[in-house]
Amino acid sequence: MNAPAARPGTEAVAAKGWLAAHKWLILRRCSQIGILLLFLVGPWFGLWIVKGNLNFSYTLNFLPLADPYVIVQSLLARQVPEKLALTGVAIVLLFYLLVGGRSYCSWVCPVNLLTDCAYWLRVRLGLKGSAHISRPTRYWMLGMTLVAAAVTGSIAWEMVNPVSMLHRGLFFGLGLAWAVLLAVFLFDLFVMRHGWCGHLCPVGAFYSLVGKLSLLRVKLPARAACNDCMDCFAVCPEPQVIRPALKAIAGTPPLILEANCTNCGRCIDVCSKDVFAFGTRFNTTAAPVSGVAQAAPK
Amino acid sequence: MDNENKPSAAARRQFLADTARMACGVGLLGLGVGLYARHAKALPPAAIRPPGALPEAEFSAACIRCGLCVRDCPFDILHLAKPEEPMSTGTPYFVARQLPCEMCEDIPCVKACPTGALDHSLKDINKSKMGLAVLVDHETCLNFLGLRCDICYRVCPVIDKAITLDPQSNARTGKHTLFIPTVHSEHCTGCGKCEKACPTEVASIKVLPLYMAKGQLSSHYRLGWVEKEKAGGSLVAPEVEHQYNMPEGMQYEHGKGLSGSSGAVPPAPTPAAPALPKALQGNKL
């Protein structure tokens, strides 16, 4: 065996310093934990800033936020919500149209903390094998949940959805939901790399559709500087989104347009050459890709 | 052509096989989810939905499990169902025997609901139908045993309408009155105060879901006395007075009983009026 490769990001830490090489990761964890805390100070200290959970929340009795996915299921089950929920849906859709649908997954969703932890442990334990389920399976899952809602006339997926189970459980009592969440954790750890969030979760699939046209994107203003260290691929939870933009496959501009990019920003962190940066989907001044333009095999 | 076709045919086969595998896997999961959801539509009898809740089939489609009703309940009686509980995960309920609904006049739980799961057209809490109180156990109810417990009647927020005490003669003692708590479905809101307050070890009066608690007359039934009142007179014309077949010299008048000349024929012993209280007749005291 050759010596184990340096952990991804080692070069970036050397080049930019630890803090700069972890900036987006830290900000992302702050966002995830901060949102949880906003919900938790109510039940813990009686300080009601936000009431409810990710399905619907009411902030300071002023700002309604509703999960469009659960409302779509409710509509398919032939129930129309009150105006407050519809307002909440509009605000949330607008927000994710701006910041990218799957930003929900990496910046808000509590299950991401769990699956990121599983992935970290998987790498640490050197677990290599991974079951194969294709990534589009999540869209089949999404379709299945919508069909289930229409056929059963109830929001059937909410019975088992680990995402809402965790979030609701933290504020209203977990019950046996911990077993479901443990199953997700162990699945990601032992069975499949990025198994739940990257292949199966219908919530993520739904938000990826919302984010197809979103404004905020990871751009590659300096893609010519790429030295093929592969660190970005190693840290990316959806590595298939990087290649077209990085290698200019089929004339792709230096812009990640794939709907499944979660805008987690980890690629920006770990790149020692500062190839990546957040930007909008517009103004793609395509810098020429030196040396690798034709290198990518089909 | 052949050289190009072969790998693409293999790829096509692979693609079709992968798709079939995926569709079957997801389909199986969907079947499980669907069956599970169907099962959960039967609400367990002890779980009562908040005021204004839609019928169960519609409720599980409208409720988005956000818990705002739980948060806005000033008495903290509501819970969200945990996954192991036998109802739709995350939907709100309360258990009357633990904490009954306090029937707030402004109905904050309904106001908080962002969907139609709790019907916003419910403005008067006294019109809510969370369930129906049923005096399920006549054998343990203290009033049925002849005591003046009356607790369910006293705690009822719709006192003298939802629960009344209906006097009946106590056949056991022969001289006392039983005050039978009687629930009237048109006024009972199903708040559960009676169930909570019932002093027997296990409540003798319980709030049940309406579908369990209510019977329904066949649609062709007509109540004669109601129809008579509606019509302003008897619908059977002419109204025939009942003829009693009595021994000679005796008369019987409805509401008054027997009468007649005492010398004629000895009156038959009437079983309805025993000479001694029953308690003193038998070996029971």
Note whether A158 contacts B: Cβ–Cβ < 8 A: yes
Tell me, what's the pLDDT at B96? 93
| Nearest partner of B135 among B95, B166, B180, judged by Cα | B180
pLDDT at A297 over 50: no
> How many structural domains is chain A composed of?
1
Tell me, what's the pLDDT at B158? 93
Choose one of B159, B194, B213: the last residue of a domain: B213
| Nearest partner of B56 among B37, B29, B74, judged by Cα | B37
Note whether A23 contacts B: Cβ–Cβ < 8 A: no
B242 lies in a domain? Answer: no
pLDDT at A293 over 50: no
Choose one of B164, B194, B213: the last residue of a domain: B213
Rounded to whole angstroms, the Cα distance separating A170 from A134 reads 31
B87 lies in a domain? Answer: yes
B95 lies in a domain? Answer: yes
Q: What values do phi and psi take at A59, rounded to 5?
A: -100, 125
Task: Tell me which residue has tokens 């298939």.
Answer: A240
Residue range A85-114: average pLDDT?
92
Do B143 and B113 lie in a common domain?
Answer: no
Q: Does this complex have an ipTM over 0.85?
A: no
Test mutation, B8, B26, B76, chain A, max A CBs within 10 A: B26
B115/A180 CB distance under 8 A: no
Rounded to whole angstroms, the Cα distance separating B141 from B136 reads 9
Mean of the per-residue pLDDT values of chain A: 86
A4 lies in a domain? Answer: no
Domain that holds residue B191: 131-213
A158/B34 CB distance under 8 A: no
Rounded to whole angstroms, the Cα distance separating A13 from B181 reads 78
Tell me, what's the pLDDT at B270? 55
Residue range A243-265: average pLDDT?
85
Tell me, what's the pLDDT at B267? 52
B66/A174 CB distance under 8 A: no
Do B109 and B141 lie in a common domain?
Answer: no
Do B84 and B125 lie in a common domain?
Answer: yes
B257 lies in a domain? Answer: no
> How many structural domains is chain B composed of?
2
Do B195 and B149 lie in a common domain?
Answer: yes
pLDDT at A182 over 90: yes
B83/A160 CB distance under 8 A: yes
Do B87 and B147 lie in a common domain?
Answer: no
pLDDT at A298 over 60: no
Choose one of B194, B213, B232: the last residue of a domain: B213
Residue range A49-65: average pLDDT?
90
B102 lies in a domain? Answer: yes
Task: Tell me which residue has tokens 């129309």.
Answer: A80
A263 lies in a domain? Answer: no
A204 lies in a domain? Answer: yes
The identity of residue B85, as a single letter, is E
CATH of the domain at B136: 3.30.70.20
A187-216 pLDDT per residue, tens: 999 998 898 999 999 999 999 998 888 888
Which residue positions in chain B have pLDDT lower than 50?
1-2, 284-285
Cα Rg, chain A, nearest whole Å: 20
Test mutation, B63, B73, B88, B89, chain A, max A CBs within 10 A: B89
pLDDT at A291 over 50: no
B243 lies in a domain? Answer: no
A232 lies in a domain? Answer: no
A175 lies in a domain? Answer: yes
- Pick B64's closest partner by Cβ from A70, A159, A176: A70
Do B48 and B126 lie in a common domain?
Answer: yes
* Terminal C-alpha separation, chain A: 30
pLDDT at A43 over 60: yes
Chain B residues interacting with chain A (CB cutoff of 8 angstroms): 18, 22-23, 25-27, 29-30, 33-34, 36-38, 40-41, 57-58, 60-68, 70-72, 79-80, 82-85, 88-90, 112-117, 120
Tell me, what's the pLDDT at A5? 57
* Percentage with pLDDT > 70 across chain A: 93
A120-153 pLDDT per residue, tens: 999 889 888 888 888 888 999 999 999 999 998 8
Predicted confidence band at A117 (pLDDT cuts at 50, 70, 90)? Answer: very high
* Alpha helices, H only, B73-223: 108-112, 151-155, 193-197, 210-213
A53/B66 CB distance under 8 A: yes
Domain that holds residue A158: 62-210
The identity of residue A151, as a single letter, is V
A180/B83 CB distance under 8 A: yes
